[in-house]
Chain A
Amino acid sequence: MVAAVVAVGLSVVAWTASTFSSQQQQTSAFFSDRSQIIQENFVIEDVWFYTGGVNVTLRNVGTVGMTVAAIDFNGTNRLAAAQSILIGEAKTITITWTWTSGYYYIVVASARGQQIREFYSTWG
């Protein structure tokens, strides 16, 4: 009887530890992701259309580093490769592209899924 109780007890403790550990990892990841999303904050500081390309200057005003995953112009991603921006840093990203005059709806998306959206005209 004692052996049975010990066996069941150990099983319950092992299951509890495993379940709590797994739950702890999920919870930890959840809060970590949410916290980082909340801490991430960036702005479009400048957009300059020049012949054959566009310079987009982004400023990381958040409290965590960030990665720019996409820069869409009217729905088309023109960013060749992801770009990292450190805390407090402004980075000018050069996009080589022969644009046509007009208005562009620019969406900058971070790797964490944050987005900023602005309209810009090519004539300044």
Chain B
Amino acid sequence: MKPFIKNRRGLSTVIGAIFSVVVFLAGFSFILWEVTQYDTHAQVINERNRLDQDKKNEIIEILDPYIEDTELSFSVTNKGSVTAHIVNIWITKYNGTTAILHTGPISNSTYINPGSTVMFTETPPSLDPEKTYLIKVVTERGNVVTKMFEPAVAPGTGGDINAGPFVLIFSDTSFQYTSNNNPTVPQVAFEIDNDRTNILFWIKIQNQAGKAIRICNQSFFLVEVRELGSGGAPGNTEDERYFHITNSTSTSSSLVAYNPDYNQMIASGETAILKFGASSVGGTGFLSYPLRNGGTAGHETYANLLWTFLVIFWKYEGEGNRFGQTITYTAIRATP
């Protein structure tokens, strides 16, 4: 030891080396610490990605809403691959397209396994089956799913008939007529005076097919006029009145022939008014007193009940196949 202490040559080098090692170790540990920080941060990113992925995989759908008494019921189906946790429900009442009453949040805690369906029943205030409701379901992951629930029969209508690619709506604006008395302004056709002439029916239909449809000139509106016996008693026969399709520009002052054939097109999802009034296919003449039965008994005194069929021949735009449908349609009250 003594010789070493006596001989201090090289001591400063050793001390310098020690300091260098200390500085190096400090730098190394700082780098290690940063790597740990990066790793922790990467774990946070991974966790967020996992949560986002879970949120994407959570696919729920609201199905089959209906109203019974004071309860609004609906099902929620989990179509995703992760369990959904329903936490809140909102119900909004609409008058037409305007929201008028908002109920929520209605707290809930329901877990729905993948592939499962769970029924929910809520009792929002002032439940009205004639109104439209928006049902909103919120999950713990933040997915918000909605379903608009409209009454099966829209207010002011008698409901719809779905017939093949067509939807026929029973309403005062969907089944109308013009006549000698109202040649240009259509009126509701559920009740018509049997003295009317130049009757032209205006029937609104919707094309619910995924492709445009063209209407053939063979289409007609058939009205069955029940025979009235004397004193208004039903007879034994009936008269069939054929109202053939006319051009859409027709009025009760002037029928325009449905020419060329298939000239009226209804685009997919669109509505159109078909006009029926010609006494023959492609013709321009009206039927005479079409809502009276063959005999004249009773038509000035008694009302009569008529029933109708809508017979449509049609084809899809750009395709060759022709289709024909006979649709049981409305009833008409013919008044004296």
Chain A contact residues, CB within 8 Å of chain B: 1-2, 4-6, 8-10, 12-13, 16-17, 20, 23-24, 27-28, 31, 34-35, 38-39, 41-43, 45-46, 48, 50, 57, 59, 61, 63, 88, 90, 92, 123-124
Contacts and interface: CB of A to CB of B under 8 A. Distances in A.
A45 B40 contact: no
Nearest to B55: A61
A14 B98 CA distance: 71
B90 to A, nearest CB: 6
A13 B105 contact: no
Nearest to B33: A24
**6 smallest beta-carbon distances between A and B, as pairs:** A124-B99, A9-B19, A61-B142, A43-B142, A5-B12, A35-B44
A33 B30 CA distance: 20
User: Secondary structure of the B side of the interface?
Assistant: helix
A13 B23 contact: yes
A20 B28 CA distance: 11
B63 interface: no
11 contacts: A6-B15, A12-B23, A13-B23, A17-B26, A38-B44, A39-B48, A46-B105, A59-B138, A59-B142, A61-B142, A124-B102
User: Secondary structure of the A side of the interface?
Assistant: helix
B98 A35 contact: no
B179 to A, nearest CB: 40
B30 A45 contact: no
A31 B34 CA distance: 10
Contact of A46 (B27, B33, B48, B90): B90
A59 B139 CA distance: 10
Give the interface size bracket for B toward A.
35 or more
Contacts of B12: 1-2, 4-5
B15 A2 contact: yes
A20 B32 CA distance: 12
A16 B144 contact: no
Nearest to A6: B15
Contacts of A20: 26-27, 30
Contacts of A1: 12
Interface in B4-49: 8, 11-12, 15-16, 18-19, 22-23, 26-27, 30, 33-34, 37-38, 40-41, 44-45, 47-48
A75 to B, nearest CB: 24
A59 B48 CA distance: 16
Interface in B50-70: 51, 55
B300 interface: no
Given A45-B105, A46-B105, 8 more contacts: A2-B11, A8-B16, A10-B19, A35-B40, A38-B48, A39-B44, A46-B136, A63-B51
